């Protein structure tokens, strides 16, 4: 028998606004209206200020830890912009720009990292899940949410975010296999920032691209410049169209970079070369976007200075709301454990006693001792 090719394909790399602010008008013209572009740039500036203040909160002992988003804003922001309100955003923990654009109050993120669970109490109308710290678990949630939308026929899809290191997790492969085999409307957004904490991508994956990992599951795969807002919007819109019309998942590899440490508990200088960081600082998504807007006459340095003052004030108010939130009640752990609180838990809540209720149920009606 002759030897024939069993499978051939290519994976496209999409770039519209490069690091030198060169713009591909054929692909990008009309993709993001000027007013929206200005609003998105301003939003990114607010997110950068938010990062700075969160870092200071941690260093001053007012917050436990924090993962900076600096340099990695475009994948989640572009996705949040391209998707609709009926679609789910299923984040890991470096998607502030997209979550805030969707409408999540920024103080929710501060509360989460301060250890206040009310930071994870999210308005269901936003269709945003709480940030996920375990690596890869959120991809399974996205598959389930997409399956539910397909079953209900509500036209919604799910978009989930994860890093390059998460593609080595079993949860990643299970979610990809499940979504492809059941024709689920999911967008898998891999934010390849070159490092899984201190482990470089070349150790995580020996293939030329992370994107091709999706080929094994028979789904469409594409790579894009993850620091190019236009490119992210384009590939997500294409993926959303495929999900809605064909119920097919898409795997997107967004090439980006975290300019800060993995978290405030990390020191990236121990494993990253200064030259590498300097190279990626020149590819900063905000630098190229600002240069493009100035060239288009949409921005100037005076407006830039004014934005600084505005976002400083805005983030100061966000911080004040988070730090001055009313202290939780001791009753909350009982009231929010079940939809309808069982009698035995109601008794524990009301009496603050647990050890002898079984032996002496009459104590349920006994008065609670007040502190002297």
Residues belonging to the active site: 258, 262, 271
79: tokens are 């996705």
264: tokens are 């405030």
DSSP β-bridge partners for residue 250: 187, 220
Of the candidates 57, 96, 49, 52, the one whose C-alpha atom is nearest the C-alpha of residue 77 is 96
CA 120 – CA 269 distance, rounded (Å): 32
Beta carbons of 32 and 230 less than 8 angstroms apart: yes
Of the candidates 372, 336, 342, the one whose C-alpha atom is nearest the C-alpha of residue 357 is 342
What is the full DSSP assignment across 306-332? HHHHHHHHHHHHHHHHHHTPPPPPTTH
User: From residue 325, how far is each of 65, 112, 286, 318, 319 by CA, in Å?
Assistant: 19, 13, 32, 11, 10
Beta carbons of 31 and 88 less than 8 angstroms apart: no
**CA-CA-CA-CA torsion for 58, 59, 62, 67, nearest 10 degrees?**
0
CA 206 – CA 259 distance, rounded (Å): 24
- The DSSP code for 6 is S
Beta carbons of 346 and 334 less than 8 angstroms apart: yes
CA 204 – CA 199 distance, rounded (Å): 7
Beta carbons of 155 and 244 less than 8 angstroms apart: yes
**CA-CA-CA-CA torsion for 232, 237, 238, 241, nearest 10 degrees?**
160
């Amino acid at each position: 028998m002759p030897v024939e090719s069993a499978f051939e394909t290519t994976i496209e790399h999409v770039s519209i606004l490069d690091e030198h602010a060169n713009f591909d008008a054929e692909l990008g013209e009309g993709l993001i209206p000027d007013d929206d572009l200005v609003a998105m740039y301003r939003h990114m500036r607010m997110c950068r200020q938010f990062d700075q203040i969160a870092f200071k909160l941690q260093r001053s002992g007012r917050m436990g830890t924090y993962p900076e988003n600096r340099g990695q804003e475009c994948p989640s922001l572009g996705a949040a912009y391209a998707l609709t309100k009926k679609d789910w955003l299923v984040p890991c923990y470096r998607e502030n720009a997209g979550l805030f654009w969707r409408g999540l109050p920024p103080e929710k993120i501060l509360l989460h990292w301060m250890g206040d669970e009310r930071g994870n109490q999210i308005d269901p109308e936003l269709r945003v899940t709480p940030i996920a710290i375990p690596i890869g678990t959120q991809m399974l949630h996205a598959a389930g949410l997409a399956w539910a939308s397909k079953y209900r026929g509500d036209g919604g899809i799910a978009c989930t975010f994860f890093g390059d290191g998460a593609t080595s997790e079993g949860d990643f492969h299970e979610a990809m296999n499940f979504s492809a085999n059941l024709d689920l409307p999911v967008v898998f957004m891999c934010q390849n920032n070159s490092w899984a904490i201190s482990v470089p991508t070349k150790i995580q994956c020996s293939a030329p691209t992370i994107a091709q990992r999706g080929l094994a599951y028979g789904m469409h795969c594409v790579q894009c410049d993850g620091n190019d807002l236009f490119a992210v919007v384009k590939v997500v819109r294409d993926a959303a169209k495929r999900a809605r019309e064909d119920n097919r998942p898409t795997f997107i590899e967004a090439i980006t970079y975290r300019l800060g440490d993995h978290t405030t508990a990390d020191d990236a200088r121990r494993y990253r070369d200064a030259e590498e960081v300097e190279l990626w600082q020149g590819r900063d998504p905000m630098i190229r976007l600002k240069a493009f807007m100035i060239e288009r006459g949409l921005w100037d340095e005076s407006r830039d200075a004014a934005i600084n003052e505005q976002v400083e004030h805005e983030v100061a108010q966000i911080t004040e709301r988070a730090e001055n939130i009313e202290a939780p009640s001791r009753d909350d752990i009982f009231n929010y454990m079940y939809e309808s609180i069982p009698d035995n838990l109601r008794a524990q809540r009301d009496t603050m006693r647990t050890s002898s209720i079984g032996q002496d149920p009459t104590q349920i009606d006994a008065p609670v001792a007040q502190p002297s």
